[in-house]
Structure 1
């Protein structure tokens, strides 16, 4: 049943989405990026900066007191945050995607979403869809979760273990992928859905498993749910697609372009670091900054070319959709792959040209390289996107989509 979740009066931070406004947030978030990368702690100051700037609630629907930012706006926001601190950007991306989904479908329980909005007015209120599991892996590859939602007298009891739950203890709400245990008309097809769980609910235990190459401050730990009690309306059943359940949150859509956008931001940060280093570095044998040499200028040009390509694909794709042109929708997964490839190439080009200094933790290049490589883990992964595209071209009856 569709229930209105509008809350009034409600005052959310108003975002300044001008270039200067976003650049100011980038600069503020960047100040603590290295510190949080080293400590692995929740990047509190960066999150608070994003909240004050209204960037965590930019996609809240206008009917709920938000600005209702478009996918193009979201891409610009996440490029800016990714340039400052990609861990902050990833936390923001998950939260923005949740609000955007609610703006479209109003699928959350009314009371829970009203509470999320109230908390978002007071301070940062992060949300994430918790889907992956240690045994299953990522749901984009198919399969059903082992996490179970069991019926109780007044709602549901959720039990199971999840992996890669980005946000950790900073999450205000978890949206947990689970199977319902109650009888169904078809015993071979259990009810599958998302359960909206408050982050402070009794029975939630975090296991500090995140010791990753990049995005170290994203707090993407494992989480255990041990008979976590939630109300009756907290279970949101997912529809079947071709007779089976799919995690629709992993599907490529304009909203999902926020994820590659944050890595374009990482590439921009690497470009800025390269420019600073090249202008400051004066080898004694050369007697002038390396920025004045043809070789370094050509490298800078290659970095810029890769970023220009990524940005053209990112913003061009979303602008086409805004104008009503949908001819490229079948290629969205491929475009996401190409954006990621270009972002990685830009950072790798900078690192390769500078040698040892770029691999030292005294400079930011190695951090940017570690972070940008994480673009490859976001669905759809390259092999799946390329296979689906090939099937779409060569075997149309197979029904593959790219």
Structure 2
């Protein structure tokens, strides 16, 4: 069973569905323990899933953004933490292939390792500067030494850190105004992980701190200078709302099944026959339809657009993330209202879904930044 042997999104979704069911069986224990879903990640690696966004010229499938989001959503129905974690790797590989800014020999090496199961994620957020989307200069510093660089610093929210093989680390270049991205292999001396992740949401993402102490990398691993052209819209970040849509669908599935089976002595039949319950289920489906159409129509727009057209999609990409994330919170809330106080039991998955979807408010881009971007977009369009 390999994703790489299939050629359509439907065929790959057929493989993913039973895997997502397996993930759902493990989700509660991982959440309770605050551990990491090693088994889930191993399955995704062993089935070739993690190589799907590798460019075709390097032996991958180079799947579309639309297909990636469909698959990521399916994973999230099973376990949101697994989906968000692996989504960063999948999206980064897609982005690197699209932007094609790295030295070819370095990117080829990375792709070959990814085909063998290697995993990658970025490490940009820091304790003092916060999210890089706010524009802070990194306190992590890279100093030129001979034919390489020495890097020191600490990065927070390094998702999937227990199993990452590569880190893309942003750092300020000492003595200059430059900021760059450096590729750091995990075995490099001076690289360590401090287990700091204690969030009540998405507890299984392993988003610990990355510690860099006199880490030395070759000059070729200074892979990208940042800030020269400004930040370009990134379609791959839609893996974030796809994750929260999947969690919302899991909540929908649970509350409907509960409503079909729950029959208190005060009524005849199950509560799914009650008008107020049907009202809430209808509202859930209405919101899911809205988010699906918005998310997937924009993904298809991205796939069919050229570079210039994509560079103008920032406002709509932000609007998708904000809409889907906030709708997911409303959907889970409605599901909990149907189930009632039982939804607050630690054994009930709805309380986990509720905690997990709240995390979406703090993934980039933030709602306030999206609103400001949309305001500027509307004003500029009116002036035309």
TM-score, length-normalised on structure 2? 0.90
Q: What whole-Å deviation, never above 9, does each CA across 1:193-223 have from its counterpart, x for those lacking one?
A: 1000012221122222211121101011112
Structural mapping, 1:259-278, within 5 Å: 259-278=240-259
* Alpha-carbon separation, structure 2, partners of 1:383 and 1:181: 32
Q: Counterpart in 2 of 1:4?
A: none
- In structure 2, the CA distance between the partners of 1:253 and 1:193, relative to structure 1 (3 Å rule), is same
Aligned counterpart in structure 2 of residue 178 of structure 1, from 150, 164, 171 = 171
Structural mapping, 1:233-252, within 5 Å: 233-241=220-228, 248=231, 252=233
Q: Counterpart in 2 of 1:356?
A: 341
* Greater Cα offset, 110-119 or 163-172: 110-119
* Alpha-carbon separation, structure 2, partners of 1:107 and 1:392: 28
**Unpaired stretches in structure 1, ≥5 consecutive residues:** 1-10
- In structure 2, the CA distance between the partners of 1:239 and 1:363, relative to structure 1 (3 Å rule), is closer
Q: What whole-Å deviation, never above 9, does each CA across 1:96-139 have from its counterpart, x for those lacking one?
A: 1221122123444556545544443444x221110000000001
Structural mapping, 1:3-402, within 5 Å: 13-14=4-5, 17-18=9-10, 19-108=13-102, 112-123=106-117, 125-181=118-174, 187=176, 190-241=177-228, 248=231, 252-324=233-305, 329=313, 330-394=315-379
- 1:13 CA drift (Å): 4.3
- Over aligned residue pairs, what C-alpha RMSD do you find? 2.4
* Greater Cα offset, 131-140 or 300-309: 300-309
* Alpha-carbon separation, structure 1, partners of 2:30 and 2:109: 29
* Alpha-carbon separation, structure 2, partners of 1:239 and 1:193: 5
- In structure 2, the CA distance between the partners of 1:238 and 1:304, relative to structure 1 (3 Å rule), is same
* Alpha-carbon separation, structure 2, partners of 1:107 and 1:226: 27
Q: What whole-Å deviation, never above 9, does each CA across 1:24-63 have from its counterpart, x for those lacking one?
A: 2221222211111112222111112222333222110000
Q: What whole-Å deviation, never above 9, does each CA across 1:332-379 have from its counterpart, x for those lacking one?
A: 212221111211111111112322111111210000111111111111
Q: What whole-Å deviation, never above 9, does each CA across 1:227-264 have from its counterpart, x for those lacking one?
A: 1111111112324357xxx5x4xx54322211111110
* Alpha-carbon separation, structure 2, partners of 1:28 and 1:39: 18
Q: What whole-Å deviation, never above 9, does each CA across 1:57-115 have from its counterpart, x for those lacking one?
A: 21100000000011111111110111111111112111112211221234445565455
* Alpha-carbon separation, structure 2, partners of 1:12 and 1:55: 6
Contact 2:143–2:174 under 8 Å retained in 1: yes
* Alpha-carbon separation, structure 2, partners of 1:346 and 1:239: 38
- In structure 2, the CA distance between the partners of 1:305 and 1:397, relative to structure 1 (3 Å rule), is closer
- In structure 2, the CA distance between the partners of 1:106 and 1:388, relative to structure 1 (3 Å rule), is closer
Contact 1:55–1:77 under 8 Å retained in 2: no
Contact 1:25–1:53 under 8 Å retained in 2: no
* Alpha-carbon separation, structure 2, partners of 1:382 and 1:127: 27
TM-score, length-normalised on structure 1? 0.86
**Unpaired stretches in structure 2, ≥5 consecutive residues:** none
> Tell me, what secondary structure is at the counterpart of 1:179?
strand
* Alpha-carbon separation, structure 1, partners of 2:286 and 2:374: 26
* Greater Cα offset, 62-71 or 329-338: 329-338
* Alpha-carbon separation, structure 2, partners of 1:292 and 1:331: 39
- In structure 2, the CA distance between the partners of 1:62 and 1:240, relative to structure 1 (3 Å rule), is same
Contact 1:46–1:85 under 8 Å retained in 2: no
* Greater Cα offset, 137-146 or 297-306: 297-306
